[in-house]
């Protein structure tokens, strides 16, 4: 990990800590929560956040210092805050967690590109807004308030990492979901009790599978039941599972046995021949004289 990434990580951790303690954090809190970061480094981060208005400094009655997280909206409405920043902040705030493209901010704010870039840079530095890469178009960034979790339509959800579709991750999840359903089917078969009972026991809900996947701990990102539901649908499309609808609108899933492979004969002309019942080793209709069979063999 490079130094810059490390610094950003420490800075974000400190901000999250400050957000979680509205009454303020002390130097002792910082030492307790971030014991591996030297106090000198923490002081540099604190000074930077104070300068950018992300934190405010308070003194307790005992004369101890407390750092409080300052609400982003207050940072732009504070006296002396730049008018252009307030306008841009309002436009970005209205866009919510889907964000807004720079061209649209420019159109709505009537600022020229140089002014707008300056304002955006300033708001980003103050951790009031952030730029998020959109999965829908490479090189396209959208802006949203710093504290917002981007919408799935921007990030692509759990299946995207830095705009790249994580096909291997999806494959692994597909296999593990299928494995769970197969295991469930085998367990149900072992318990016996008639085909209907076995069948009913073999069904699992997306919540069951979600718990199994969570317990496996194979995902770095937090997956929702809806995420697992979409993976289970890929298992169904692969013909490895079937699903039935519950009256409450959810689905139940059960592993299926793959169809038996076609016997070789079906793939030959004899497999679909309308006069196969009259074909024999003797007589006029026979394999040696059959043009259909000869042509099929020649094509192979």
**Binding stretches for ligand SF4 (CB under 6 A):** 269-270, 273, 275-276, 279, 285, 287, 290, 292-293
CB of 300 to ligand SF4, least distance (A): 14
CB of 184 to ligand SF4, least distance (A): 44
Q: Among residues 244 and 275, whose Cβ is nearest to ligand SF4?
A: 275
Render the burial of 66-81: b for 16+ CB within 10 Å, e for the rest. Answer: bbbbbebeebbeeeee
Q: Among residues 225 and 270, whose Cβ is nearest to ligand SF4?
A: 270
**Between β-strands 65-69 and 129-133, what pairing exists: parallel, antiparallel or unpaired?**
unpaired
CB of 286 to ligand SF4, least distance (A): 7
171: left (phi over 0), alpha (psi -120 to 50) or beta: alpha
CB of 192 to ligand SF4, least distance (A): 44
CB of 271 to ligand SF4, least distance (A): 8
**Between β-strands 65-69 and 241-245, what pairing exists: parallel, antiparallel or unpaired?**
unpaired
Q: How far apart are CA 164 and CA 222, in angstroms?
A: 18
CB of 292 to ligand SF4, least distance (A): 4
Q: Among residues 4 and 281, whose Cβ is nearest to ligand SF4?
A: 281
CB of 195 to ligand SF4, least distance (A): 38
Q: Among residues 179 and 278, whose Cβ is nearest to ligand SF4?
A: 278
Q: Among residues 170 and 273, whose Cβ is nearest to ligand SF4?
A: 273
Q: Among residues 219 and 268, whose Cβ is nearest to ligand SF4?
A: 268
Q: Among residues 236 and 293, whose Cβ is nearest to ligand SF4?
A: 293
């Amino acid at each position: 990990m490079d130094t810059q990434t490390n610094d950003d990580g420490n800075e974000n951790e400190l901000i999250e800590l400050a957000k979680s303690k509205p009454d303020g954090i002390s130097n002792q809190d910082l030492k307790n929560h971030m014991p591996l970061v030297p106090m000198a480094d923490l002081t540099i981060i604190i000074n930077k956040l104070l300068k950018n208005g992300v934190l405010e400094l308070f003194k307790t009655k005992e004369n101890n210092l407390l750092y409080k997280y300052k609400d982003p909206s207050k940072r732009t409405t504070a006296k002396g805050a730049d008018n252009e920043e307030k306008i841009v902040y309002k436009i970005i705030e209205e866009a919510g967690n889907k964000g807004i493209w720079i061209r649209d901010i420019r159109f709505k704010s009537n600022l020229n590109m140089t002014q707008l870039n300056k304002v955006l840079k300033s708001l980003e530095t103050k951790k009031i807004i952030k730029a998020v890469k959109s999965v829908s178009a490479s090189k396209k960034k959208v802006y949203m308030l710093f504290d917002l979790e981007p919408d799935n339509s921007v990030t692509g959800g759990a299946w995207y990492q830095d705009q790249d579709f994580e096909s291997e991750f999806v494959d692994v999840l597909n296999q593990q979901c299928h494995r769970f359903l197969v295991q469930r089917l085998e367990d149900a078969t072992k318990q016996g009790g008639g085909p209907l009972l076995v069948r009913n026991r073999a069904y699992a809900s997306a919540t069951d599978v979600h718990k199994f996947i969570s317990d496996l701990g194979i995902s770095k990102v937090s997956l929702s039941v809806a995420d697992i539901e979409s993976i289970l649908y890929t298992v169904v499309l692969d013909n490895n599972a079937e699903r039935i609808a519950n009256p409450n609108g959810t689905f139940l899933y059960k592993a299926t046995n793959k169809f038996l492979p076609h016997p070789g004969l079906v793939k030959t002309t004899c497999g679909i021949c309308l006069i196969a019942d009259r074909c024999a080793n003797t007589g006029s209709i026979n394999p040696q004289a059959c043009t259909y069979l000869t042509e099929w063999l020649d094509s192979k």
